[in-house]
Amino acid sequence: MSSASTSQRTPWPLMGRLARGALAGLRRAIDVTLIGLLGIMVVLIFAQVVARYLFNNSIAAADEAATFAQIWMVLLGSGYAMRQRMHVSIELVIERLPLFAARLLLVPVAGLCLWFLWVVFEGGMLLMEVGAWQTSPGLQVPMSIPYGMLPVGAAYFGLEAALAFGAAILGIEPVVSGGGVRVD
């Protein structure tokens, strides 16, 4: 084997390590963001309760910020749930199929899921354009900021879905994860 052919192969392991590192970093950032959003929600709602019941006053910005944080948590959390295989799934048909047929069935299922997430992504981008002209009533921020979580959440969910479906289709992980809600 010549040194030229060896040098052509070496970038792939390096690129694989870089991709795994980038994915791990992204997942860690999502985890920290979800924890931070939950903390923000707790603090804001507590402040709102104290303001209402002790001072007979309401903090409009706190309500709105807590609502935005909750929406962001749901959209990012859906990708996290996909990573952990926590979404509800109907595995009855897949469990009864031969392995090759089960993997083959996952191809259109993955396609439909990813198509749906693409539609959400595109719709979120359109909402961001419209939201750039509007401001939120309490925080007075452009609505493109809260609407921006739609494409971000859909993109992250799509990444995790592609990784999960791809791993099952390629045989890297079992077709049936057993991680969802099961009724036995």
pLDDT at 175: 76
Phi/psi of residue 88, nearest 5 degrees: -65, 135
Distance (Å, rounded) from C-alpha 125 to C-alpha 117?
Answer: 12
142: phi > 0 → left, psi -120 to 50 → alpha, else beta; which? beta
Taking the CA of residue 79 as centre, how many other CA atoms within 13 Å lie in the half-sphere pointing to its CB?
A: 29
Which carries the bigger pLDDT value, residue 6 or residue 143? 143
pLDDT tens, residue by residue, 37-50: 999 999 999 999 99
The verdict on residue 25 lying in a domain is yes
Assess contact for 82 and 164: CB atoms under 8 A.
yes
The verdict on residue 183 lying in a domain is no
The secondary structure of residue 132, as a DSSP letter, is: T
Assess contact for 125 and 151: CB atoms under 8 A.
yes
Question: Which domain, by its residues, includes 89?
Answer: 3-170
pLDDT tens, residue by residue, 69-102: 999 999 999 999 998 888 777 777 788 888 888 8
The secondary structure of residue 175, as a DSSP letter, is: S
pLDDT interval class at 66 (50, 70, 90): very high
pLDDT tens, residue by residue, 126-174: 999 988 889 988 888 899 998 999 999 999 999 999 998 998 888 888 7
The verdict on residue 15 lying in a domain is yes
pLDDT at 156: 95
CB atoms within 10 A of CB 23: 14
The verdict on residue 182 lying in a domain is no
What is the model's pTM?
0.81
Residue 183 has pLDDT above 50, yes or no: no
The verdict on residue 45 lying in a domain is yes
Domain count, the chain: 1
